[in-house]
A = this chain, B = another copy of it.
Amino acid sequence: MKKETARVFVVDDDPSVRKGLDRLIRSGGLLVETFASADAFLEHPGTKGPSCLILDIKMPGTTGIELQEKLLSREDTMPIIFISGHGDIPLAVEVIKKGAIDFLSKPFNDKDLFDAIDEALDKSKIIQTNRADQDAIRFHLDLLTKRESEVLTYVITGMLNKQIAAALNISEKTVKVHRGRVMEKMSVDSVAELVRLAQKINIKPAKIHH
């Protein structure tokens, strides 16, 4: 696969901070894009390779905290490094608990920033890999019909075909057909693989009737 250069986004309302961070991070061999506001960043299209966001807490308009919330709610999982002018422990605790990588108080030294960026980009790679895996699974999952999905939830409980048939009030024969299509459409050839796929995208097994 092609190696994508990592990309760092900077959101800060202070032009001098943007300029300083841009030069500093560029000197570390990374691509940088700066934004003067959270809203400007939100309009920016998603990126492909590993990336992270350096975000000022306090800004006019949408604050850094609010931007984090918005990204979380839109399931954008870009790792965030917060920077702030005045230290505020409860705030730091809050954002870290919501998944931020670090919370740096200005002025911070370059090493702390680069350490945080390294960690953020590592995390970004992991997230993107997981995301790609899940997308692939969901793609296959979308090929299933309603009934097939239903049968899937029973199959991953380990129920026998005859038990599934009884639960759905259909013949065992029909279950076999659905089951076969599920295996084919999901591109697996064992129940074990199917169970693992289902776990990765959090498909809950149907309730069991022993």
**A-side interface residues toward B, CB under 8 Å?**
87-89, 92-93, 96-97, 102-103, 105, 155-159, 188-196, 199, 205
Q: A195-B195, A195-B196, A199-B196 are in contact. Are A158 and B93 (CB under 8 A)?
A: no
Give 7 new A-B contacts, CB below 8 A, not counting A192-B194, A192-B195. Answer: A92-B92, A96-B96, A155-B192, A158-B191, A159-B190, A191-B195, A195-B196
Instruction: Kindly identify which residue among B87, B102, B103, B190 contacts A158, using a CB–CB cutoff of 8 Å.
Output: B190
Copies in the complex: 2
User: Closest B-chain residue to A84, C-beta based?
Assistant: B89
Task: Give min CB distance, A68 to chain B, whole Å.
Answer: 15
Task: Give min CB distance, A80 to chain B, whole Å.
Answer: 13
Instruction: Kindly identify which residue among B89, B156, B190 contacts A103, using a CB–CB cutoff of 8 Å.
Output: B89
The answer to whether A189 and B93 touch across the interface, beta carbons within 8 angstroms, is no
Task: Give min CB distance, A204 to chain B, whole Å.
Answer: 11
Identify which of A88, A97, A155 gathers the most chain B CB atoms within 10 Å of its CB: A97
Residues of B with C-beta under 8 A to A158: 188-193
Task: Give min CB distance, A47 to chain B, whole Å.
Answer: 25
The answer to whether B87 and A93 touch across the interface, beta carbons within 8 angstroms, is no
**10 A-B pairs with least C-beta separation:** A158-B190, A158-B192, A195-B195, A96-B96, A87-B89, A158-B193, A192-B195, A89-B92, A93-B103, A191-B191
Residues of B with C-beta under 8 A to A97: 96
User: Closest B-chain residue to A82, C-beta based?
Assistant: B93
- Complex alpha-carbon distance, A93 and B205, angstroms: 38
Task: Give min CB distance, A6 to chain B, whole Å.
Answer: 21
- Complex alpha-carbon distance, A191 and B155, angstroms: 10
User: Closest B-chain residue to A192, C-beta based?
Assistant: B158
User: Closest B-chain residue to A112, C-beta based?
Assistant: B90
- Complex alpha-carbon distance, A102 and B159, angstroms: 44
- Complex alpha-carbon distance, A158 and B103, angstroms: 45
Task: Give min CB distance, A127 to chain B, whole Å.
Answer: 16
Task: Give min CB distance, A192 to chain B, whole Å.
Answer: 3
